[in-house]
């Protein structure tokens, strides 16, 4: 579907943090420059790369006036995204990791639904290729779309953790005016996007993959997920406290808090099974899980088996967890 002339003048800011991805960056950028919707600015943030990524950013910028390059000292993924958020000018923003790719109509499709559904956020799905062999992303076709209002959307996002990543979604820039990613912490999306979704009036969920997520051993996300950190405990506590202060509906509060706690629970389970686990993290996390158990028990998002799993992890009954998963 072709967008109207008015919509063709809605600027989208595409944010791409760059760090030591010389071998992958050009294919990522090519997938963005090939978009059917052309009115965007592409902000490349070279986060102190030690390979040729920075020079490649400059070279690509000479070939397309829509590309803006920022060079900064290494500060991590959050710092790089924040640098772009501070200067971007688009009415909408979206994030793409520098070793990933997007479908050729990703921007057009997300903007179309943002306008048609009068939504502040459009959330899509992502596709994980079975190998890192380079492929050409296909044109996405929408199978199903639904729009939810504030609390409904927040529950959907928090209780279904695969949907809260900053990548693969389109956000109104105004939602980010007082929000930034936390510098120096991992789980940066978990620490940030729930607050953004809570500010949105309407959110549209598209059951279609437009984002191609390539898993490689050296990526920032892979490194973060392999590291158990007390950051996650702090983030979970802050989110639960925030929603307790801002959500007055008891049922919605139980669902939102239980989604946060279930994410912490799954990470605690993985850490506890690791022979090299961070015992301090496991101990602190389980205390948080026990303190807030009432939210999970009241939630209508999780079934009895999931609630029992939560209780078993909270109170350290691993042999029962094993039986449940059998």
272 has pLDDT over 60 = yes
Strand intervals (E) in 75-200: 92-95, 101-102, 121-127, 145-149, 169-172
6 has pLDDT over 70 = no
Domain edges within the chain: 10-223, 228-325
**10-223: CATH superfamily:** Spore Coat Polysaccharide Biosynthesis Protein SpsA; Chain A (3.90.550.10)
- pLDDT class for 240, splitting at 50, 70, 90? very high
Could you tell me if 42 and 66 are in contact, meaning their C-beta atoms sit under 8 angstroms apart? yes
Q: Which two tokens stand for residue 111?
A: 């903007």
Mean pLDDT in the chain? 87
Nearest to 247 by CA among 174, 166, 122, 153: 153
Place of tokens 């760059």: 18
DSSP state of 161: G
DSSP state of 213: -
Could you tell me if 108 and 3 are in contact, meaning their C-beta atoms sit under 8 angstroms apart? yes
67-102 pLDDT per residue, tens:
999 999 999 999 999 999 999 999 999 999 999 999
Could you tell me if 150 and 194 are in contact, meaning their C-beta atoms sit under 8 angstroms apart? no
112 has pLDDT over 50 = yes
SS3 94: strand
Q: Provide the pLDDT for residue 319.
A: 46
Strand intervals (E) in the chain: 12-18, 40-47, 67-72, 92-95, 101-102, 121-127, 145-149, 169-172, 202-212
Q: Provide the pLDDT for residue 268.
A: 82
- The predicted model scores a pTM of 0.88
**Cα 221–chain centre separation:** 11
320 has pLDDT over 80 = no
170-189 pLDDT per residue, tens:
999 999 999 999 998 888 99
| Percent of the chain residues topping a pLDDT of 90 | 66
């Amino acid at each position: 579907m072709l967008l109207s002339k008015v919509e063709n003048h809605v600027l989208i800011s595409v944010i791409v943090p760059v760090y030591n991805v010389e071998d992958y960056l050009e294919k990522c950028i090519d997938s963005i420059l090939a978009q059917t919707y052309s009115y965007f600015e592409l902000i490349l943030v070279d986060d102190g790369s030690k390979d040729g990524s920075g020079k490649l950013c400059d070279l690509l910028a000479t070939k397309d006036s829509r590309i803006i390059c920022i060079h900064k000292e290494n500060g991590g993924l959050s710092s790089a995204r924040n640098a772009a958020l501070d200067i971007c000018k688009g009415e909408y923003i979206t994030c793409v990791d520098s070793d990933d790719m997007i479908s050729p109509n990703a921007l057009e499709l997300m903007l179309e639904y943002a306008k048609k559904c009068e939504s502040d956020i459009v959330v899509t799905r992502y596709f994980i290729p079975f190998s890192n062999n380079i492929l050409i992303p296909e044109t996405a076709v929408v199978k199903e779309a639904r729009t939810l209002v504030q609390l409904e959307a927040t529950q959907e996002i928090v209780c279904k953790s695969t949907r809260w990543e900053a990548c693969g979604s389109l956000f109104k820039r105004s939602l980010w005016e007082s929000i930034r990613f936390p510098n120096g912490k991992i789980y940066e999306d978990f620490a940030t996007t729930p607050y953004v979704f809570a500010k949105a009036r309407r959110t549209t969920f598209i059951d279609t993959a437009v984002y191609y997520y390539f898993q490689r051993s050296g990526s920032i996300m892979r490194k973060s997920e392999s590291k158990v950190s007390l950051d996650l405990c702090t983030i979970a506590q802050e989110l639960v406290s925030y929603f307790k202060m801002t959500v007055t509906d008891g049922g919605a509060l139980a669902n939102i808090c239980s989604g946060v706690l279930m994410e912490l629970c799954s990470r605690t389970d993985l850490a506890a099974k690791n022979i090299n686990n961070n015992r301090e993290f496991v101990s602190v996390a389980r205390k948080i899980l026990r303190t807030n158990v009432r939210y999970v028990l009241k939630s209508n998002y999780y079934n009895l088996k999931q609630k029992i799993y939560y209780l078993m992890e909270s109170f350290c009954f691993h042999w029962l967890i094993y039986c449940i998963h059998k």
